[in-house]
Chains A and B, each alone.
Chain A
Amino acid sequence: MPATVPAVDLAPRVFSRDVADHLVPTGREEEWRFTPLKRLRGLTDGSAVLESTPAIDVVAEGFTVDTVAMDDPRVGASLTPSDIIAARAMSVAPAATVLALAAEGSGRADVTIDGRGAGASHLIIEFGPFSAGTVVVRHRGHATLAQAVEIRVADSASGTVVFWQDWDRDTVHAATHHAQLGRDARLMMGHITLGGDLVRILPQVSYTATGGDAELLGLTFADAGQHLESRVFVDHDTPQCRSSVLYKSALQGDEAHTVWVGDVLVRAEATGIDTYEVNRNLILTDGARADSVPNLELETGEIVGAGHASATGRFDDEQLFYLQARGIPADLARVLVVRGFFTDVLGRLGVPEIADEVMSTVDSRLGIDRVAAGLLEEEAE
């Protein structure tokens, strides 16, 4: 049975694991209006033949790793798809991978999901009560991927999950990444999206008890022709919880397109919550487009705080002038400014080895050799 609740835009949002309960989008729907449906290669209308399951490789310390059947009770325990592609992923994926951190445990897992064609994947990440851990999910290769991920952070656990979209240029990736937070649970969920032709991810957060604290961070770099979309949904349905959302995109080249939608719903019962969402976009060249739609709906005024900010700006000529006036050539000045723009997101993610790799990817996308430019201090000797 599908459950329906009003979406922030007041169109009904359908929650169901059954594909048939979801309408095939036409592109006129609020949720789909920015997405070039044709480039989704049949993931919405079902014409995609999803039989090439991506290879999944896990290097884990502290986490147990299991492969379970799709009728296992852990599958769908916290995620009911609000999106036809996530429903499709759950109906097509042959099995689910479960990473679990035991109560009071600590650990780290590095997951590589290697695309091999058109397929579906379902991933479950569980942080047991009072545990603390980090999971990095790196997507690579070329694929047409429908994906569902459910994250459960149990009472007083503290989890970090970073999804890194390091896809080949031709990949299509559509996913729902849903996180459920227990009492006093903390989650930092990060999305770094650099690769792919079309990436559309729905990071979602809900709470089961008071004291949950979710921080969502996003870093996107779109080059010519890429469509990189993030649709955040934070469902504040529980009192005394917190959410903080910071997404940044840089764009360059013709038809580079990023979309950020930040739906935050504060329901009548969610008193005492605190939420803030920020989206910043930096447009480096003509022809690139960033859409930014913050959506904060308050059904109660008895809260600690709620706010949003969104700004899209062009590369600042005064910054460029200042750096050039110190001898720094224009292309390198651009790299410094873009690196600077992403610094706070990467710093807050707190996974330094990723930060380094991401920064060097950004450098090379901007056409800079870091060593020659004196940017790599360790190697400058």
Chain B
Amino acid sequence: MSTLEIHNLHASVETDGGEREILRGVDLTVSSGQTHAVMGPNGSGKSTLAYVIAGHPKYKVTDGTITLDGANVLEMSVDERARAGLFLAMQYPVEIPGVSVSNFLRTSATAVRGEAPKLRLWIKEVKESMAALSMDPSFADRSVNEGFSGGEKKRHEILQLELLKPKIAVLDETDSGLDVDALRIVSEGVNRFQADGTTGTLLITHYTRILRYIHPDFVHVFVDGRIVESGGPELATQLEEHGYERFARAGSGA
């Protein structure tokens, strides 16, 4: 049983025009067995929330706390957070020329698991996970994210999710840029990850369509750097019908 707790989180970024606050008091708790959807308009700060959880150096936390099972996440380096059981599937995964997917995955699994996986078992594990995501085996020889299509990048992120088995996963717009088939394949991967009830997922999305495949237990509306309303799956249905209009007003009025 794991819990990621975020309290009164404020974060800002250095811009040419000085420091700019993007997160303005986020409160959110994600536990194993739960899927939370965070939904909000473009520019509301969703990716910033994801990056701050993962520890991106560009963002400065000015107030609030993040803990994972009571441990202070904000004191950990980026790699320590990952080894502690946090995972971020990025909206825009980074290209790393010359580093093969297979080498990258193995190095990463070795770091997260604390020892190198037994080679034969590892090869089998990777092969099966790739097959489940309809990824061609030749994918393993390509450079990380280099020349990948949008769909390939997202599948590659979910492949890592399945191989690294974090305690809590943050998925930042994993649905964006996917056609229907890819969306289904990727969603099934997330559902497999979430299936045994030992892990928690924070699903960040702009659109409701991924919620046809991944069923959240909680839905949070994110506007202007904070959560303005929380509820069950019915909240997503409302958003599908009426959009963010009503909440955008609530956010700017705050």
B164 touches A343 (CB 8 A): no
A326 touches B82 (CB 8 A): yes
A340 within 8 A of B: yes
The interface-forming segment of B9-17, B41-49, B106-114, B198-206 is B106-114
A326 touches B94 (CB 8 A): no
A327 touches B104 (CB 8 A): no
A374 touches B106 (CB 8 A): yes
CA distance A322 to B160 in the complex (A): 12
A339 touches B99 (CB 8 A): yes
CA distance A374 to B110 in the complex (A): 6
CA distance A318 to B88 in the complex (A): 14
B57 touches A328 (CB 8 A): no
A344 within 8 A of B: yes
Q: Report whether over half of chain A's contact residues are helix, strand or loop; otherwise say mixed.
A: helix
Residue of B nearest to A328 (CB): B111
B77 within 8 A of A: yes
- Nearest CB on B from A339, distance (A): 7
Q: Which residues in A have their C-beta under 8 angstroms from that of B160?
A: 326
Q: Which residues in B have their C-beta under 8 angstroms from that of A332?
A: 107, 111
- Nearest CB on A from B73, distance (A): 13
Interface size class of B (residues with CB under 8 A): 35 or more
B111 touches A327 (CB 8 A): yes
CA distance A165 to B177 in the complex (A): 48
**B-facing residues in A312-363 (Cβ within 8 Å):** 316-319, 321-330, 332-333, 336-337, 339-344
Which listed residue (A317, A322, A333) contacts B57, Cβ 8 A? A317
Of residues A322, A333, A377, which shows the largest number of chain B Cβ atoms within 10 Å of its Cβ?
A322
A11 within 8 A of B: no
Q: Which residues in B have their C-beta under 8 angstroms from that of A343?
A: 97-99
A373 within 8 A of B: yes
B96 touches A327 (CB 8 A): no
Known: A324-B77, A381-B119. A329 touches B111 (CB 8 A): yes
- Nearest CB on B from A347, distance (A): 9
Of residues A318, A333, A341, A374, which shows the largest number of chain B Cβ atoms within 10 Å of its Cβ?
A374
Q: Which residues in B have their C-beta under 8 angstroms from that of A318?
A: 94
Q: Which residues in A have their C-beta under 8 angstroms from that of B129?
A: none
CA distance A339 to B100 in the complex (A): 10
B94 touches A321 (CB 8 A): yes
B94 touches A319 (CB 8 A): yes
Known: A377-B119, A380-B116, A381-B119. A325 touches B54 (CB 8 A): yes
A322 touches B93 (CB 8 A): yes
B154 within 8 A of A: no
B116 touches A374 (CB 8 A): yes
Q: Which residues in A have their C-beta under 8 angstroms from that of B82?
A: 324-328
Which listed residue (A322, A342, A373) contacts B107, Cβ 8 A? A373
Q: Which residues in B have their C-beta under 8 angstroms from that of A58?
A: none
Residue of A nearest to B115 (CB): A374
Q: Which residues in A have their C-beta under 8 angstroms from that of B143?
A: 340
Residue of B nearest to A342 (CB): B98
| Mask of A13-57 contacts with B, CB within 8 angstroms, 1/0 | 000000000000000000000000000000000000000000000
A330 touches B79 (CB 8 A): yes
A375 within 8 A of B: yes
Residue of A nearest to B110 (CB): A374
B99 touches A337 (CB 8 A): yes
A340 touches B106 (CB 8 A): no
Which listed residue (B95, B99, B108, B119) contacts A327, Cβ 8 A? B108
**A-facing residues in B48-90 (Cβ within 8 Å):** 54-57, 77-79, 81-83, 87-88, 90
CA distance A77 to B217 in the complex (A): 81
CA distance A374 to B117 in the complex (A): 9
Q: Which residues in A have their C-beta under 8 angstroms from that of B77?
A: 324, 330
Q: Which residues in A have their C-beta under 8 angstroms from that of B94?
A: 316, 318-319, 321-322
A340 touches B111 (CB 8 A): no
- Nearest CB on B from A376, distance (A): 9
B98 touches A327 (CB 8 A): no
B164 touches A323 (CB 8 A): no
Q: Which residues in B have their C-beta under 8 angstroms from that of A340?
A: 96-99, 143
CA distance A380 to B113 in the complex (A): 14
**A-facing residues in B156-172 (Cβ within 8 Å):** 160, 164
Q: Which residues in A have their C-beta under 8 angstroms from that of B103?
A: 336, 375
A327 touches B116 (CB 8 A): no
Q: Which residues in B have their C-beta under 8 angstroms from that of A317?
A: 57
CA distance A329 to B107 in the complex (A): 10
CA distance A325 to B55 in the complex (A): 8
Q: Which residues in A have their C-beta under 8 angstroms from that of B124?
A: none
Q: Which residues in B have their C-beta under 8 angstroms from that of A342?
A: 98
Residue of B nearest to A341 (CB): B98
A322 touches B116 (CB 8 A): no
B99 touches A336 (CB 8 A): yes
- Nearest CB on B from A336, distance (A): 5
CA distance A337 to B88 in the complex (A): 20
A324 touches B99 (CB 8 A): no
What are 15 A-B contacts defined by CB distance under 8 Å?
A321-B56, A321-B57, A322-B96, A325-B78, A325-B82, A326-B160, A327-B82, A327-B112, A328-B107, A337-B99, A339-B98, A340-B143, A344-B97, A374-B107, A375-B103
Known: A323-B104, A327-B79, A343-B98. 8 other contacts (CB 8 A): A326-B160, A327-B112, A328-B107, A329-B111, A336-B99, A374-B106, A377-B106, A381-B119
The 9 A-B pairs at the shortest CB distance, nearest first, are namely A340-B98, A374-B110, A343-B98, A324-B78, A327-B111, A327-B82, A340-B99, A326-B108, A327-B112
